[in-house]
């Protein structure tokens, strides 16, 4: 089963530049799911988006589980703020 969590960051975004100059948002993504699940068993995907920079930012968040779009939202994060959500699903 495919589990996907994405943000609006792409290859052209330079995280290093934000880290070096100390200005602007620094967005991080952490996704953690059930290690093993038997077919038909309930499982959970935990997603956390964090802003460890010193400026606020809006982040597009998308979550896809088993090919189904579960979440597609924009989250506004102030400096030092996190957004977290858990998604329960049945494995197939």
Q: What is the pLDDT of residues 40-91, one digit of tens each?
A: 999 999 999 999 999 999 999 999 888 889 999 999 999 999 999 999 999 8
Task: Give the whole-angstrom CA distance, residue 30 versus residue 9.
Answer: 14
What lies within 8 Å, CB to CB, of 6 at 6+ separation is 29, 60, 61, 62, 63, 64
Q: Where are the domains of the chain?
A: 3-90
Cβ 79 vs Cβ 51: under 8 Å: yes
Q: pLDDT, tens digit, for every residue of 13-36?
A: 444 444 444 578 888 988 898 888
Output the CA torsion 52→55→60→62 (10° steps).
10
Query: Could you name the CATH architecture of 3-90?
Result: Sandwich (2.60)
Cβ 61 vs Cβ 77: under 8 Å: no
């Amino acid at each position: 089963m495919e589990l996907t969590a994405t943000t609006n960051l792409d290859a052209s975004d330079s995280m290093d530049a934000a880290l070096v100059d100390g200005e602007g948002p620094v967005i991080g993504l952490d996704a953690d799911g059930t290690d093993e699940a038997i077919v038909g068993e309930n499982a959970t995907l935990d997603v956390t988006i964090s802003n460890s920079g010193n400026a606020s930012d809006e982040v597009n968040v998308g979550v896809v589980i088993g090919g189904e779009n579960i979440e597609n939202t924009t989250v506004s994060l102030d400096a030092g703020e996190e957004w977290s959500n858990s998604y329960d699903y049945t494995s197939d």
